[in-house]
């Protein structure tokens, strides 16, 4: 809570854009090093991808900004994604946040945000 009684966003509590940037920069090398996931990114420009992911996560965590990328359903609709792929990606995200010493309660909130887009990502 702030002094005027409003709830601070997850984006602010995690440490703003600096924290989101640091997390995504650690996260994608983990995804690419995972043989069960790397093939999905073969023809993807990872610089652009990282920038999109930073913008999306900032927005999803409640940053005061507009997200102008594709929605999660359209962005993943051409891939055959299973639960296992989603869980591995989420696992790399959690490992990243642990490495950055993000408190567990905030990691739990990030996982909630990730789970909120799971059915769209998997097109279910």
What residues line the site for ligand HEM (CB under 6 A)? 37, 40-41, 44, 49, 52-53, 56, 69-70, 75-76, 81, 85-86, 89, 114, 117, 121
What distance in Å separates the CA atoms of residue 96 and residue 50, rounded to the nearest whole number? 14
Q: Name the minimum Å distance from CB 107 to ligand HEM.
A: 14
Q: Name the minimum Å distance from CB 10 to ligand HEM.
A: 14
Q: Using an 8 Å Cβ cutoff, are 124 and 77 in contact?
A: no
Nearer to ligand HEM, 16 or 40 (CB): 40
Q: Name the minimum Å distance from CB 81 to ligand HEM.
A: 5
Q: Using an 8 Å Cβ cutoff, are 98 and 107 in contact?
A: yes
Nearer to ligand HEM, 2 or 48 (CB): 48
Q: DSSP string spanning 80-99?
A: ---HHHHHHHHHHHHHHHHH
């Amino acid at each position: 809570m702030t002094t005027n009684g409003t709830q601070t966003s997850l984006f602010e509590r995690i440490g703003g854009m600096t924290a989101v940037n640091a997390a995504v920069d650690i996260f994608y090398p983990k995804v690419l090093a995972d043989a069960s996931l790397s093939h999905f990114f073969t023809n993807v420009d990872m610089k652009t991808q990282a920038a999109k992911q930073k913008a999306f996560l900032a927005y999803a965590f409640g940053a005061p900004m507009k997200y102008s990328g594709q929605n999660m359903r359209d962005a993943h609709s051409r891939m055959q994604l299973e639960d296992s792929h989603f869980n591995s990606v989420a696992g790399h995200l959690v490992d990243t946040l642990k490495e950055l010493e993000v408190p567990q309660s905030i990691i739990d909130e990030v996982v909630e945000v990730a789970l909120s887009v799971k059915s769209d990502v998997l097109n279910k």
